Amino acid sequence: MKFNLLAWVSLSIVICNLYLLGTSRLPAMIRAVAVQGFLLSFLPLLLPNPAEPLHVVIMVVLSAAVKGIAIPYYLRRAIRGVSAVRDSNPSVGYTLSIAYGIFAAALSFYVLRKIPFSSVTVSPFHASTAIATAAIGLFLIVTRRNVVSQVIGYLVFENAGFILAVSVAAFQPLFIEMGTLLDILVGVFIMVVAIRYVHSAHNSISIKPLERLNR
């Protein structure tokens, strides 16, 4: 039963990644990151080697609060008052972006099927989803021309690390995981402040004004 649920949750996370690659609207991207955050919060319940029940409950609640509620809330505040809420000029078109996402996901699941996991604690579903998510997060950071889109790419890349870390959550101290989530929240808060400063200074959240500063 857990295996089937893990497969569906993993597939849903990958679908969120593909949706992020295929949409230009920032509010839609923020909603997708929020949905992905809630999906990630259920992963501790699906561990092959579950942690202590209290540990699992705290991780689920804390992950949902930070990734599903707090971070999307700050991102919505960052784009409040922004006139252009689309990333309309990415380096790679949206059709090619989706094709890349499908290829990255298929390749990661195919490669991880060939690796024996009998002697390690990492679930192949966790590892495959983490690799595909990391590849898509980096792709968003590199190809998007909007500050908020790049922050979302950073969050997607960090989600990949969270997926992989959850696989060994039963063997890690709870305070380390709580500290990591707090660091992520603080990092996003700082990014939101930077986004608002860029918008107030240049009346835009595109990275083009920032690129001109280096010339």
Q: What is the pLDDT of residue 212?
A: 53
Q: What is the pLDDT of residue 19?
A: 94
List Cβ neighbours of 85 (8 Å cut-off, separation of 6 or more). 25, 26, 27, 79
Of 29, 74, 67, the residue nearest 184 (C-alpha): 67
List Cβ neighbours of 209 (8 Å cut-off, separation of 6 or more). 198, 201, 202
Residue 196: CB atoms within 10 A of its CB come to 17
Of 194, 125, 189, the residue nearest 155 (C-alpha): 189
Q: Which amino acid is at 20?
A: L
Q: What is the pLDDT of residue 70?
A: 84
Q: What is the pLDDT of residue 159?
A: 86
Residue 138 exposure: Cα atoms within 13 Å on the Cβ side: 9
Q: What is the pLDDT of residue 84?
A: 60
Q: For the whole model, what pTM was predicted?
A: 0.78
List Cβ neighbours of 159 (8 Å cut-off, separation of 6 or more). 13, 36, 37, 40, 67, 133, 137
pLDDT along the chain (215 residues), means of 10: 75 92 88 91 74 75 84 81 68 90 90 62 73 91 82 86 71 54 60 59 54 51
Of 23, 19, 17, the residue nearest 146 (C-alpha): 23
